[in-house]
Structures are given as structure tokens and as C-alpha cells.
Copies of this chain bind each other. A is one copy, B any other.
Amino acid sequence: METVERLIRSTQELLWERGYVGTSPKAIQREAGAGQGSMYHHFAGKAELAKVAIERSAEELRAAAAEQLAGDGTAGERIGAYLSRERDVLKGCRVGRLTADPEVVADPELRKPLAETFAWLRERIAEVVAEGKQNGEYPETLDPERIAATIAAVLQGGYVLARAADSTEPFDLAVNGLIDLLEAM
């Protein structure tokens, strides 16, 4: 793998595990097996490399969600498949966890891919909910934008509860509770 690619993937991994504040340029170089000169030859610094890594993680998240939310099933089936897909629950969401990082949310360039990812995700889920309304799966009164935010929040909050408990159980309970509520519509 090329050095640039190794630097990006190592930064993605370190940001997921340790966050932005907890990731030093030295740690990135060690993880990527790249020298300091090489890193600064390709990137102006930690912020620029982090921006590229966050954008890459955001793209990967969007591609996975797009695939799960597409398909031929009913809206309920597709939302259920998206909610229930296998996840590395105790590691949390590599995009969502960055919102805990004060230096990420304070930097418009670093926060931008986070904002865009969740805006896209909520819009995509809202489309599926709206399709479910048209198919008669969901009642006319259901607000797709609200329900989409609720669905995205349950996943992000499920990670928080699971990491607090050091167990995937609360994540599974939260997701299944939401599926129960949606199926009762």
C-alpha cells in the first residue's frame, strides 16, 4: 500500500479508537510505518490529514447505509435491516464518536463531514419512511423527518449505552424497542 493510503487508514483507525485530541502525529507515523518527513511531505499537518481521514470514514458510512436502505423490501424491512445489520457496537460509530471531540466540533473544516454525513443519513431514512407512508405501512400523520432523526439517534445513543455498560445488550434493547414502536404504527 502507498504511504499516503497507509497514513489515511492509520488516521481513520486512531481517530476511531482515540479521537482527535488523543491522536498525536507521532502515533499516526508509528501506526502507518511512515517517517515524520514523509507525513509532512504529503500533508500540511495533523488537521489536514484528519480532515481527509474523516471524509473517508464518512464516505464509507454513507456507502454502507445507502446499500442497506436500498433494495426491494418494504420500508419497515429496509429500516429493520439497516438497524439490525452487524456492527462493531463496542467500538462505536467512527463518525459519531468524533462529536465528543471539542477540537473537531470547533473546527468548521473538521466538523463539516460530520454534519454532511448525518444530514444525508437523516434525509435518506426520511425518504424510506415517506415511501412507507405511501405504501400504507405507516399512518399519514407520521413525520418522516422526525422519525428519521429518531432512528439515527437510537443508533448513536445505543453505542453510548453499550460502551458505558461494556456490553452490546443496551444497544440491542434500544434498537429492538424502536423496531417494536415502528411495527406498532
Contacts and interface: CB of A to CB of B under 8 A. Distances in A.
Interface of A: 17-19, 21-22, 92-93, 95-97, 99-103, 105, 111, 114-115, 117-119, 122, 139, 141-143, 145-161, 163-166, 170-171, 173-178, 180-182, 184-185
6 closest A-B pairs by beta carbon, nearest first, are A157-B157, A153-B157, A146-B177, A156-B157, A150-B177, A100-B100
A92 B100 contact: yes
Contacts of A95: 164
B161 A100 contact: no
A84 to B, nearest CB: 14
Contacts of A184: 139, 141, 184-185
B163 A160 contact: no
Contacts of A155: 153, 157
Nearest to A164: B114
B164 A118 contact: yes
A120 to B, nearest CB: 11
Contacts of A150: 154, 173-175, 177-178, 181
Nearest to A111: B166
Given A114-B164, A184-B185, A146 B176 contact: yes
B147 A181 contact: yes
11 contacts: A19-B101, A21-B22, A22-B101, A111-B166, A115-B164, A118-B170, A146-B174, A146-B180, A147-B180, A151-B177, A184-B185
